[in-house]
Amino acid sequence: MKKSDISNISNAESVERAEESVRSSVQPSGKFGGKADRLFGADPAGLDESARGIAVLVIVGVAVGLLSGMFGIGGGTVIVPALVWLGLAQRNAAATSMLAIVPTSISGVISYATCGNVDWLAALLLFCGMFVGGQIGSWLLSRLSELVLRWIFVVFLVFVVANQISFVPSRDQHIAMSALTGVCLGLLGVVIGTLAGLLGIGGGALAVPALSMLFGASDLIARGTSLLAMFPNSITTSAANLKRKLVHVKAALVIGLVAAVTAPFGTWIAGVVSPRVGSILFACYLCVLLIRSIFVAVKATRSVHASA
């Protein structure tokens, strides 16, 4: 065989190996399948997609559904740390959390609405503000450093824990709507939407105590209204995050669909316990999460300083 023939064969084999490499690089990885990849592009790298990782996502979904139903939150305070622990970057975990909140909030709203514990007008005004704030938060999410996001999350948790400890809502009050109340609800929505888009939370942990403390809503109405306002805001913010390719779609669907199943059980628990017991339970949960978040933020700060 001539040297030129050997060279041609070698070149052909090299090209074939290169093409195979390209084909394998665009194939969806993990055990979730590839439909979401074709619809939304490749998911962010880093997430543990082994059987263990999937089991963790399912457990997180169960916990998020119960907490969402009990406290009127989207569950981002659980989802974000869990996804970071499984390997996602903070910004991708926050964006993924927002998409997971969509089916969770739908299920929770249905449960609260069937018992008459939703203020539809207040939820609409909140959403109008949250829509604007969500776009601001999503824009900031792609520009702030991971370290800044971690400390913002810590400050947010401190604020919510302080509210839960210091205030006990009533179960018999309603929101007295007026022009000033409507404007204030819209402004509150902007603040909540910005934090939601930035931290990957639904905003319920801020909306629920604010609706009770500032607007006189009962604890159950505050939770139901919060979930209703969260639903469209989560969609609009997730659309912006998907456009920026920040979302791990498959993880969001696993968590969100499982949470949608368990949310009605959380709603039932919320109606059984007293408002004071509900506030204490929520504060205890957030204190545990706060301790862990401070530890992670301090560790990240030391790492940045060490590499500087």
Q: Is residue 65 part of a domain?
A: yes
Q: Is residue 28 part of a domain?
A: no
Instruction: Judge whether residue 1 has pLDDT over 80.
Output: no
**Contact present, 283 and 73 (Cβ < 8 Å):** no
Helix (H, G, I), strand (E, B) or coil at 103: helix
Q: Is residue 1 part of a domain?
A: no
Mean pLDDT of 225-240: 83
Report pLDDT for 18. 43
Average pLDDT, the chain: 80
Report pLDDT for 45. 67
As for how many domains the chain has, the answer is: 1
**Contact present, 92 and 81 (Cβ < 8 Å):** no
pLDDT tens, 249-299? 899 999 999 999 999 999 999 888 888 888 788 788 778 878 877 887 888
Quickly state the pLDDT bin for 6 (edges 50, 70, 90). Answer: very low
The domain in which residue 186 lies consists of: 45-298
Q: Is residue 167 part of a domain?
A: yes
Q: Is residue 101 part of a domain?
A: yes
Report pLDDT for 16. 47
Higher pLDDT, 104 or 77: 104
Where do runs of H (alpha helix) occur along the chain?
A: 3-26, 35-40, 51-71, 76-85, 90-113, 120-141, 146-166, 179-199, 204-215, 219-243, 249-272, 275-307
Residues 6+ apart with CB under 8 A from 278: 70, 71, 219, 270
Higher pLDDT, 183 or 164: 183
What's the CA gap between 159 and 205, in Å, rounded? 10
Q: Is residue 30 part of a domain?
A: no
Higher pLDDT, 168 or 15: 168
What's the CA gap between 144 and 247, in Å, rounded? 16
Report pLDDT for 180. 93
pLDDT tens, 113-156? 998 899 999 999 998 998 888 788 878 877 777 678 778 778 87
